[in-house]
């Protein structure tokens, strides 16, 4: 089982923040400050990012989820609300599939329960080929151009610096694992606890109408569409996204 680097702050009911691709727990710095006065907030580096070692390739997102679940068990956490951004949402869904009773609710930020379409799988294959040919830096230095609504946002350099720390094996391993992940729509339909979707109307990869549909599939789903955001609302609109998550956590633990 791959070791997970983590940080925790605050006291109370537990919240787990799971970052996206290709980022690390540092992405949650400003966001988590709105949660720590009221909750025990745990941020992790997924294996291969930040300070967590990468498992041997190939790996699945289910195996990544198992490593996170093992860390939660080591921390003696009996209930926790996972909030996953993008890739982090895929991992959170895999965790819920493994052990649904652990989670009073589930939050998906700019993420989806659907598997990749054939077109998306082909795009993942092209990404892997590009990285193998041109190296990690050629990919990560330009990755940020498609995820921010405002390319001049002051946090763009911070996120780009985080991205370029990711090494080639992690980029390839996770791109393949995301390509091969299973569809989780049936899980949404069967999960009888609250599910929060936050998505961006300008997200080029996850259509807002599809996210609305997924929220309708979940028995206790809710959706919030950020009209002026793309894929990084947790950075570009911290007041809105952190407030929505805070209120959601309160309702889950009532």
Note whether 254 and 40 are within 8 A (CB). no
Q: Which residue has the higher pLDDT, 3 or 116?
A: 116
Question: What's the pLDDT tens digit per position in 132-172?
Answer: 999 999 999 988 878 999 999 999 999 999 999 999 999 99
Architecture of the domain defined by 5-116+181-252:
3-Layer(aba) Sandwich (3.40)
Helix axes 118-134, 168-179, angle to 10 degrees: 170
Question: What's the pLDDT tens digit per position in 41-92?
Answer: 999 999 999 999 999 999 999 999 999 999 999 999 999 999 999 999 999 9
Domain boundaries along the sequence of the chain:
5-116+181-252
> Is the per-residue pLDDT at 1 higher than 80?
no
CA distance 227 to 193: 26
> Is the per-residue pLDDT at 36 higher than 80?
yes
CA distances (Å), 13 to each of 107, 126, 177, 245, 251, in order?
15, 42, 31, 14, 12
**Which two three-digit tokens encode residue 65?**
């989820």
> Is the per-residue pLDDT at 191 higher than 80?
yes
Task: Pinpoint the alpha helices (H) of 75-225.
Answer: 87-98, 118-134, 136-143, 156-163, 168-179, 185-190, 208-217
- Say what the alpha-carbon torsion angle 206, 126, 159, 30 is, to the nearest 10 degrees: 30
Q: Which residue has the higher pLDDT, 142 or 220?
A: 220
- Give residue 225's pLDDT: 98
| Degrees, nearest 5: CA angle 138-118-47 | 50
What is the torsional sign of CA 70, 71, 73, 79?
negative
**Which two three-digit tokens encode residue 103?**
């989670």
Task: Kindly give, in sequence order, each residue whose CB lies less than 8 Å from that of residue 41, ignoring residues fewer than 6 positions away.
Answer: 8, 9, 10, 15, 17, 32, 35
Name the pLDDT band for 100 (thresholds 50, 70, 90).
very high
Residue 80 C-alpha from the chain's centroid: 15
- Is the full-model pTM beyond 0.85? yes
Residue 43 C-alpha from the chain's centroid: 11
> Is the per-residue pLDDT at 203 higher than 90?
yes
């Amino acid at each position: 089982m791959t070791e997970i680097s983590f940080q925790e702050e605050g006291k109370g009911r537990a919240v787990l923040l799971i970052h996206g691709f290709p980022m690390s727990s540092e992405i949650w710095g400003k966001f988590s400050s709105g949660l720590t006065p009221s909750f025990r907030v745990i941020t992790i580096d997924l294996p291969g990012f930040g300070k967590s070692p990468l498992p041997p390739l190939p790996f699945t997102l289910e195996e990544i989820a198992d490593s996170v679940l093992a860390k939660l068990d080591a921390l003696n956490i009996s209930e926790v609300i996972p909030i996953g951004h993008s890739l982090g949402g895929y991992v959170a869904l895999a965790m819920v599939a493994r052990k649904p009773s652990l989670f009073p609710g589930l939050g998906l930020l700019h993420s989806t329960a659907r598997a990749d379409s054939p077109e998306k799988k082909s795009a993942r294959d092209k990404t892997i080929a590009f990285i193998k040919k041109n190296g990690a830096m050629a990919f990560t230095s330009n990755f940020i151009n498609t995820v921010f609504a405002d390319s001049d946002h002051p946090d763009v350099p911070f996120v780009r610096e985080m991205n370029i720390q990711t090494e080639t094996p992690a980029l390839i391993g996770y791109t393949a694992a995301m390509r091969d992940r299973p569809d989780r729509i049936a899980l949404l339909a069967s999960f009888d606890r609250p599910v929060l979707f936050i998505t961006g109307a300008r997200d080029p990869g996850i259509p807002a109408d599809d996210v609305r549909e997924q929220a309708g599939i979940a028995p206790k789903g809710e959706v919030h569409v950020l009209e002026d955001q793309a894929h990084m609302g947790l950075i570009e609109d911290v007041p809105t996204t952190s407030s929505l998550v805070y209120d959601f956590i309160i309702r889950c633990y009532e």
